[in-house]
């Protein structure tokens, strides 16, 4: 039988382990790396020379609480017992002990002490107190505990149950016979030296082309990067130009220019990340600032504004941009219609992390400025975008945003869950947004999520998988048809 040198090393090592050995142990003794051991095991297994089994090992490891008592080599009840071992002590005196409450509770529970007339008196040392300490030491040293031994420690939060899969490779009778016969003398690797010396004439070891190769894991672009390129191509094909803006933005462009009042709840620390450095942001030309001020304080074009005293200092506060609509606001300044602009970029909000919310996410922004566009055109652009993205069922429902009127939220139908899912917000910019920035034609605008439609298209139900969980298997196995 013709064997690879790694197979021979594997068999030679396993000869001394009739009950099998783990991959790490074989690698250490044979000089092979663990991957080579696994490959050699796969080859040898197909020839009936070895077999393998995988077992789940249950063990207990110390928690932070358990590790604290292990290092101190004591338990809270023993500290109480030690304090009253020479004479009874007043409860008020024992209250000075750091772990008085929990220590007294366990000391009483184990019948180590009793309370009489405000004094704590010793009774005896419970046998299981010393036993628990020894079990704590065993767990710390990696030794196994039975369920019964670990029960009380687990109940007290000193240990936690863990599982570990252990793969054992065993040599078969045929493998032992093959190992005893030694190397077949064939050459497994052809080198220039072997060719020049003529040693190759001793025979070359043929390869079994029927064996399955190991999986080749190549470099791969991240799922979100692939979809960003698809979305970028969709907008470019629809005649849009791409724009970008800073991640650290002024409150002026992030909020004020979008006609969002300075006392709006979304500006609070609970929703927005404010920067300590830089302390202030630069504002645009004074004319633009005064136009925005007037829109807020008294209104523009017949509106009443928000009727409050607008503050330039608040407008200068720098933030991590909460949406890429700030890029749209910057783009409106000096815009010459007709124009179609889009942006794909990061945005930040002080969100609680869950399966559909992240503090950092990617937003898809777009505007269309033209004297002839209408609300129907807005719905048409959105429907075309989502259709090209791969969604067939698209609908719209009325919404409210401070900076658009009319406003709408696009929804797509998620077949797997049989439900409609909202993916963003859109509308026509109010005159209070466009006029101060020098634009006097209708402007269609939208801000759409990136991660949520990707999750729908790829079958993921938790957007934390994209960034927080670092699941390489998910990223490697994800099928992206774009």
pLDDT: which is higher, 132 or 295: 295
98-112, 408-422, 467-481: segment of lowest average pLDDT: 467-481
Q: Could you tell me the pTM of the whole model?
A: 0.57
Q: Is the pLDDT of residue 35 over 80?
A: yes
Confidence of residue 329 (pLDDT cuts 50, 70, 90): very high
Confidence of residue 316 (pLDDT cuts 50, 70, 90): very high
Question: For the chain, what is the mean pLDDT?
Answer: 85
Confidence of residue 470 (pLDDT cuts 50, 70, 90): low
Confidence of residue 479 (pLDDT cuts 50, 70, 90): low
- Listed ranges 352-361, 381-390, 413-422, 470-479; the one with the highest mean pLDDT: 381-390
pLDDT tens digit sequence for 61-110: 888 888 887 888 888 888 888 888 888 888 888 888 877 888 888 888 88
Distance between alpha carbon 15 and the CA centroid of its chain, in Å? 45
Structure-token match 């720098």, residue found: 318
Q: Please give the average per-residue pLDDT across 366-374, as a whole number.
A: 95
The pLDDT value recorded for residue 246 is: 94
Q: Please give the average per-residue pLDDT across 295-321, as a whole number.
A: 92
Name the packing angle between helices 76-84 and 127-140 (round to 10°): 140
H or E element, residue 396:
strand 394-398
61-75, 251-265, 440-454: segment of lowest average pLDDT: 61-75
399, exposed or middle or buried, with CB in 10 Å at 0-12, 13-18, 19+? middle
- Listed ranges 121-125, 206-210, 348-352, 372-376; the one with the highest mean pLDDT: 372-376
pLDDT: which is higher, 272 or 270: 272
28-42, 153-167, 451-465: segment of lowest average pLDDT: 451-465
Q: Please give the average per-residue pLDDT across 322-344, as a whole number.
A: 93
Which of 108, 226, 267, 99 minimizes the C-alpha distance to 481? 226
Q: Give the 3-state secondary structure of residue 202.
A: helix
Strand partners, 444: 368, 428
Count CB-CB contacts under 10 A for residue 247.
Answer: 15
**C-alpha separations of 180 from 8, 288, 435 in Å:** 10, 89, 90
pLDDT: which is higher, 215 or 268: 268
Domains in the chain, ordered, with CATH? 5-57+164-202 (1.10.10.10), 64-157 (no CATH), 224-477 (3.30.930.10)
């Amino acid at each position: 039988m013709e064997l690879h040198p790694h197979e021979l090393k594997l068999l030679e090592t396993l000869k001394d382990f009739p009950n099998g050995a783990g991959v790490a142990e074989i690698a250490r003794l044979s000089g092979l790396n663990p991957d080579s051991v696994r490959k050699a095991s796969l080859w040898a297994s197909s020839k009936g020379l070895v077999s393998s089994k995988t077992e789940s090992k249950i063990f207990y490891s110390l928690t932070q609480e358990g590790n604290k008592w292990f290092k101190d080599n004591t338990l809270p009840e023993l500290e109480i017992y030690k304090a009253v071992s020479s004479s009874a002590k007043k409860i008020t005196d024992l209250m000075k002990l750091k772990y008085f409450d929990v220590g007294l509770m366990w000391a009483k529970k184990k019948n180590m002490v009793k309370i009489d007339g405000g004094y704590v008196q010793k009774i005896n040392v419970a046998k299981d107190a010393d036993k628990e300490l020894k079990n704590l030491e065993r767990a710390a040293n990696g030794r196994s505990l039975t369920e019964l031994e670990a029960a009380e420690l687990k109940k007290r939060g000193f240990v936690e149950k863990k599982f570990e899969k252990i793969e054992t490779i065993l040599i078969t009778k045929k493998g032992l016979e093959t190992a005893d016969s030694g190397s077949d003398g064939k050459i497994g690797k052809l080198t220039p030296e072997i060719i020049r010396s003529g040693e190759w004439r001793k025979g070359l070891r043929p390869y079994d082309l029927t064996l399955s190769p190991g999986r080749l894991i190549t470099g791969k672009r991240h799922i979100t990067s692939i979809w960003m390129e698809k979305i970028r191509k969709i907008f470019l094909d629809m005649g849009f130009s791409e724009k970008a803006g800073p991640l650290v933005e002024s409150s002026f462009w992030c909020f004020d220019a979008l006609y969002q009042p300075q006392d709006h709840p979304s500006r609070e620390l609970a929703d927005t990340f404010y920067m300590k450095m830089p302390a202030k942001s630069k504002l645009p030309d004074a004319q633009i600032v005064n136009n925005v001020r007037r829109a807020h304080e008294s209104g523009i074009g017949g509106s009443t504004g928000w009727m409050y005293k607008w503050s330039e200092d608040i407008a200068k506060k720098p933030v991590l941009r909460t949406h890429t609509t700030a890029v749209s606001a910057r783009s409106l300044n000096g815009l010459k219609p007709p124009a179609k602009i889009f942006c794909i970029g990061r945005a930040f909000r002080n969100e609680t992390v869950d399966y559909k919310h992240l503090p950092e996410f990617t937003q898809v922004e777009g505007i269309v400025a033209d004297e002839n566009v209408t609300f129907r055109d807005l719905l048409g652009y959105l429907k075309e975008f989502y259709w090209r993205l791969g969604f067939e069922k698209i609908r719209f429902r009325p919404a409210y945003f401070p900076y658009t009127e009319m406003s709408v939220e696009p929804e797509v139908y998620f077949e797997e869950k049989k439900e409609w899912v909202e993916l963003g917000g859109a509308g026509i910019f109010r005159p209070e947004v466009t006029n101060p920035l020098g634009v006097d034609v209708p402007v269609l605008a939208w801000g759409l999520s990136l991660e949520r439609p990707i999750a729908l298209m790829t079958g993921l139900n938790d957007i934390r998988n994209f960034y927080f969980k670092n699941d390489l298997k998910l990223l490697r196995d994800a099928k992206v048809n774009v």
